[in-house]
Amino acid sequence: MDLATRLLAAALLAVPARAQTITPLVESGDSVPGVGSVTFIDNIAINATGDWLVEADTDHPDGTADSVLIRNGVLWLREGQALAAPAGASIGSFDSVNLNASAHSGWNFFLDGPPSGFDSGVYYDTSLLIQEGDVVLDPALTPASPYLGFFDVKNNANDQLALIATVDDAAIAASVDQVLVVLDTAGGVLIATDVRWKEGDVLPGQTEGIATFATGPHQSGFNETGDVLFFADLSGDSSVDGVIYLNGTKLA
């Protein structure tokens, strides 16, 4: 071992180990009052102030009412739970799981009750913001263009939500078109819709249009000032047409 390596090893040994505290939040077998016992953890979220949210499956005998969301140790939402809007709707299943700095969530629920074509919606906690079938309220799209569905939703401390949605815009050749949308809300009420990018748009520095956006939960980001990080496939050679952008700036 040379002198530099010995000095590095000595320095590392001299640094005291920092104590770590591990606190289980939800474990298999935990009882969820009125539902059953936890069998599986599906998803988690935590914010900077320590609020947490766990999506879990339980052994409840009804498979349409066995998934739960536990927030800070208390049952909050459950599969099959009735919602105020749209009329007659209940939670069919959960999609995104997140918490902003004030412990509010913005997400997509798949709905039981409404007919096909109207059976999903983007919510602020349990307040409906937009529903499948609603018209996109942004002049960036052809008037009367409807939402067809929603992918992973993210929210920030300013009660903004960012998501990839599918729409049907008559000005875009395909019958299902992807858009990257930011929603401004206030107390669970939608106040503005901003379509940042849509299928066919040419990003700065590119010559090919956007073909699709990546829709996985780890393929985009959204911060407190409303900046959106996203991955897109362009319409060119599939071996070189993937890009990562922060707003309108190419990163890779």
Tens digit of pLDDT at every position of the chain (252 positions): 666 666 666 666 666 667 888 989 999 999 999 999 999 999 999 999 999 999 999 999 999 999 999 999 999 999 999 999 999 999 999 998 999 999 999 999 999 999 999 999 999 999 999 999 999 999 999 999 999 999 989 999 999 999 999 999 999 988 899 999 999 999 899 999 999 999 999 999 999 999 999 999 889 999 999 999 999 999 999 899 999 999 999 999
For 129, other C-beta atoms within 10 Å of its C-beta total 20
Cα–Cα distance, 38 to 35 (Å, whole number): 9
Quote the pLDDT of residue 11: 65
For 36, other C-beta atoms within 10 Å of its C-beta total 17
Quote the pLDDT of residue 169: 97
Q: Alpha helices, DSSP H only, in the chain?
A: 3-14
User: How far, in Å, are 90, 91, 186, 198, 199 from residue 139 at the CA level?
Assistant: 32, 31, 21, 12, 15
Quote the pLDDT of residue 217: 87
* pTM (two decimals): 0.90
Quote the pLDDT of residue 18: 76
